[in-house]
Structure 1
Amino acid sequence: MPADYLLSVDLGTSHTVAVVVWPDGRTRPLLFDGSPVMPSAVFLDPAGTLHTGKDAERLALTAPERFEPNPKQRISDGTLLLGDREIPVTAAFAAILSRVARAAIESVGRLPDAVLTCPAAWSEQRRGALHDAAAQAGYRPVKILTEPVAAAHYYTSRLSHQVQAGQPLAVFDFGGGTLDIAVLERRPDGSFGVLADGGLPDLGGLDFDAALVAHIGETVKQREPEIWKRLENPNGASELRNRRELWEEVRGAKEMLSRSSVAPVTVPDMAQSLHLTRGELDQISRPLLSRAVGETQRVLALTGRRPEQLAGLFLVGGSSRMPMVSKMLHEGLGIAPTVLEQPELPVSEGAALALTATVPVTPPAAVTSPPANPTAPSLGLPPMTPASDETVLLRRNGGAPLPPPRRGTVHTARRVPPKWIAIGVAAVVLVAAVAIGAWWLLNPYKQRPFADALTEVAPATAISGELDDGVYEVRSRGDRSVFFYTTASDDESGQELHVRALSNETGDAVWSQDQVLEGDGWNNSYFLSDELLAFSQEVETGEYKFVFLDPGTGEVRNTQTSASRNAARSGDLLVIGPEADAGAGFKVFDGDGERVAEWTAGTEDATVADWSLNWVPEDIANPTEPSNGDGRLWAVTSDNVLHVYDAESGEVIVQREIETAEDLYYAWDGKLYVAADKETGYELNVYGLDDLKQLDSQFIESGDVGPADMTDCGEALVCVAEAVEDQTDVYHWRVYDADAEEIAHEFDDQEYGWIEPLGDRLLVEYYAGDSKRTQIYDKGFDTVNNSLEETFAPIDGGSALAWPARSTFGTVTGGVTGLGRDGSRAELSTDLELYACDATDTRLACILPDGLQVFSFRD
């Protein structure tokens, strides 16, 4: 087997993460006990064997004195006392790296060359300890890259954030034991150099755990002083075990409070559980996080740069998951941080991505065993951007790879609605203006039955080549489904994108189209209508190529280049709008890729702050085949002017000066809704899109909580989301009725996710403990049937479908469920393994391990 695989390992204080890079550039995280995140814990048994990860944590319950949960935190000590034996810290590191090595060998058949990561402030002596541990674990001489540099490469490559040469980027690495902060600068060759670094060696997730344990202890001490005495000063294995169980309980409660408002804590030997609230966590966390914010400000000041000059503030490390971290950094620095759902992962994969650039690494140290292969490969890894749908967006505050955006938004700089469903296309309601006698036949919201199970329309069409992680997407419409996936090209020149069309009626292949990757990566945006089929590619930094195919034959009709990736489909036209910092020009193309309009919004000095289309109720009865608006486009420019255009011609329909470009805008059914922050709440102002005359104004008392998003949720309904403090993608909602000109309902008694219409009813997501559920509401806002465990995508006016959401790392397995507007469920499949799917109102098209497949779930 050729020595061209690469193993990247981030051995952290609390957790270890490892990624294997395949020769063709695919990346896969190694799994340990089914998880990509392994505890960096060791346990020494009486026979002298070191156990690691969750095995070590389980064994710790039998003999806590033989357990060390955070060996990296003890590197300065040199040795660890485990039970009656003292071992070198490097032996603990070697045990963890050996566990990683075994998983890598199981995955690829051998131990690849490796790159390890370490904090920027680590001395050569500490880095030498990593080299020694790797040698003991059987690795060939490893390369070592600093964690902030690795994170920076993930930020620019995997997340596709633009950092220009000379721009600074701050990395806030908040792990279990320490806080490490670095400000880096992008060099002209694409590498990163550290301008300043710092941190707090005595502040990490463990310190929050300790503060919470002390807080719980005050209650236990009052109720059961003897129990607390034993927990505070344990004597013997049993009491040590109880103390560890308490810390695990508190840690679990802390993590639960990032999703819920209350979390139980079971105290050993106490009959009744205690509870922690999010308010208590915030109160305890604030003074600790104030130190973190202050240190971030100090490190940034060392560079002479201001917060607003940063290209981004990237949060990594497991402790960054706490919502209060982002909140206080935002308050203290005035910029919105980027944090992922699994902030433990970016450093490991970023280290592998960094090897595609010329970056300084620590050379292999002298080791006792001879090197088998002293040179780790430098692999050409194309950056993978997140999948998007017919609208391409900049990332929101969360920064994680965004799922396909809902139909209703093209925000170029600020707000991007969350997505809780795999299809990513929001629904709207078709006006049911039909005669009462023909109501059932013509009712666009009637419920249609599902089949008993998914049925294969035809045998799967084989995939050409081995599927990699670059692209796997599906777009279905009417009589065809179009599949996009990438493989390594046959001539070893890079990735190759395969586009395949299958008939939804017969499942047979209709046409195929292959394109070799020319630049930095596929931008993963796809546009499909009856006359338009296009996708985009980032050919180099800041330059995008839009490829137009013939929907009937797959032949390339045209290509166009743009400095912007922000685009939206309007009917059979593709509108490419400006980036927030790329000027103010709009370009419109037809299905042949020919330019039909071009114009500049505002003045030469004004940039476009936000833009989108006017979405229409007629689309809701056909959510899988929407028209995408009525051809009108609105844009807000930085000189506080609102413009409304005809998208096909570029002609100005109307324009007027507004209060501020920073307000929240949404166009629905010929009306423009503007949510404007005020001191004690916000105003919801409604204007006619034809003349921008004000139709209504509602002041909403919400305290310090302002509007976070808007979406359509009925024929005459627009829903306004208010973010729940210290939580991500959790909202309270106000439902505005344009016909009645009033707030018709408030969803504020629970923690809610997204809202969208199902015909003339609502699909409302809410959180129940750790799980997310869906509830249907009728027109009177009364609940319909029972709440549902899945998240559904509307497929017509009276039904919806749920299937496993696509994963960044390969296949996912789960059920496919149909849903009627009356709340009835149809279990169509229980164990479908897939890469990605899309649906029409009768077909589900998927990329499976066996190939491309079209399923039928109703006639």
Structure 2
Amino acid sequence: MPADYLLSVDLGTSHTVAVVVWPDGRTRPLLFDGSPVMPSAVFLDPAGTLHTGKDAERLALTAPERFEPNPKQRISDRTILLGDREVPVTAAFAAILSRVARAAIESVGHLPNAVLTCPAAWSEQRRAALHDAAAQAGYRPVKIITEPVAAAHYYTSRLSHQVGPGQPLAVFDFGGGTLDIAVLERRPDGSFGVLADGGLPDLGGLDFDAALVAHIGETVRQREPEIWKRLENPTGASELRNRRELWEEVRAAKEMLSRSSVAPVTVPDMAQSLHLTRGELDQISRPLLARAVGETQRVLGLTGRRPEQLAGLFLVGGSSRMPMVAKMLHEGLGIAPTVLEQPELPVSEGAALALTSAAPVTPPAPVPSPPAHLTAPQLTGQSRGLPPVTPGSDQTIPLRRGGDDQSPPVPPRRGTEYKARRIPPKWIAIGVAAVVLVAAATVGIWWALNPYKQRPFAEELREVGAAEPLSGEVDDGIYEVRSVGDRSVLFYTTSSTDESGQELHVRAVDNRSGELLWDAEQVLPGDGWNGTYFVSEELIAFSQEVQSGEEYSFIFLDWETGEVRNTIPSWARDAARSGELLVVGPVGGNAFEVYDADGEQVSSWELEGEETVAQWNLVGTPDDIANPSAPANGDGRLLAVSSIGVAYVFDVESGETVASEEIETVDDMYYAWNGLLYVAVDKETGYDLNVYSVEDLSEVDSVRGIESGEVAPAAITVCGETLVCVGELVEDQTGVYHWRVYDADAEEIVHEFDDREYGWIEPLGDRIMAEYYAGDDVRTQIYSKSFKSVNNSLEETFDPIDGGSALAWPGRSTFGTAVGNVIGLGRDGTRAELRTELEVLACDATDTRLVCLTPAGSQVYSFRDE
């Protein structure tokens, strides 16, 4: 068998490309259905056969729940739920690689030695998954080269661009689901080393598709509202097919606009086609691409090099084809990028070229054998009552059933989240406005169109740096952690050496390195800590009880040194953070004071006459749903309800009164969210839910006569961008609720959670995460936008950490050590066990780090890449 052929495979997020290198050096891309680019999609039929490429896409129209368009994005999940079966991600990879192998055998008569590519940031565990998949597909041990290194070799060899020793080259790899950026340096031996890498895991071609669908949807909604309603929220197989066809139409139009100035879009069930223009695409794309340009500048900055020092900026990946990509990079960096007509191809061919140089490769991994305890029936799935696995035209694999015998609803596939997401009208309006006012809407439209990405978790929880020992022996007083961005503040108490009482210690750590930034030992001797701590990018503040139940002090610390900036005496214990400001109140029963991070007062105000404050809270904002680990804590306004039932809205920074109006009584429940004030008014046999505008306190809606018997509403909380949940306590129980969901867009109660005994409820992105009781155990269940349960219930409770995932950890606000597990939860219900039996005093999480006080000291852990 000839040994001098070489097969090079780039298994990408959206597409797979393979190139065969002939013995004389000629290269030829393999064709799949007549194209060198094969969709990286898989479809599992009822017989257990995995179909790939365009076959998978066609079959997806018959059963969308059996389809995964982007298995590479699911590598951290380890398994993919297709229909009622869990398929290992490596098996999906193996099916794709088997399809490539058959094409290679048809081309050259045998399966050559192979090289595969992977992102530069992939861990050894992820690379091992590629080795495993290749072995399952019948490949001899393969070599793996990183994608930017492969692209660099194509740039110098095939395009004949000169990159001298020591010169940097930037590779901008823009695919369907992610953006990967790397700056490489040419070594004296001709190989390339990565100087810095980064990217945006939540930005790719799918995001542009989502923005364009939202733009088209605004027109369809105006002309044919019923058609758009079916496309936005399909209920059957035919409507699901129509939605998929719309997305395919939009994607095809986007690709056509890279070659022409206008492209038609056929909307299912609409008699007349719509059109997209190059100008519309450019204007809608600009806000998204602004993030890509900024990330490129950041990665280049990590190397200490300037743009003009680059030997080149090479654009690869299918999404790089859009003309606006090169244009904005040229504008932002001042250098002209290099982009090809088919930017999907260079990585695959470049990987083969790299093998002739000194480029580092990953050595073949040993092929794992099935565990000895798995019997043949277990491997085939027949012992679980599944259809037998039969040979087919695609890869056939052993499978196992996902979920329990009740066949829970299928969670949405990772690559189709945009299709399932209902984009609220106000956010679509922002997207349309961006066509006219791009610069002003850059941040807003991006947040609007894509705030709830589910990011993968790492395979395990990893220590970041060594534990920093605590100062003194901790007592059973306070253990608190507050994390924000790249830094965390940790509070703990020790017994004082002179027996005068407790001493509070405050320290700050760098979440990226785990290093101790400062340790303010014995900050404030004394006792009476009342457990209120406020931390943001600029602010560190906490309160101390000076005189029991009467006088308090708020202490402000310097973020850089830990030194006390200011101490503010106060007769109010309550406070809240509004951005970088601290709101204290009610002071003296009827006033509020606002302080900046230095402890300097910026505003103050009081209610009129003899009124006192009965209730108050900040006006919440949907930004907090997308970024719950670093919330903004309000939109800059404060709601206060007086002792005679007058509602006031104040501007926090200026102290000015925005609106005031006598609305209901002080005994009612008030909650301000997303520009609206919700008031639950208790009645004899139930309650009314009245809705007012925060701007002028005018009534905008009212749901009257909600029947709850003699049970009054006991809680109102946010459960979505336009959703609030009203909780009714279950009789004779504490902390057990029935919840009703009000939708501000629909202006009605859209759902009741009354089938279980529920605890607290909160949003997880555009889904709802609810705690419920199973006997004495508390469990967690995720619900979709249509209030269907997603995946199985989980025997842990979780805190949201970003718009697409949550985290469970031990020692949440407990005194003394706690031992428990650290578990990640995706919005699709997938569970990632990161660490078992972790012993801690207290922890807090950002979207990438878990920071804990442990018996060994302060310790930072990483559970995903930044």
Q: TM-score, normalised by structure 1?
A: 0.48
**Bigger radius of gyration among the two:** 2
TM-score by length of 2: 0.48
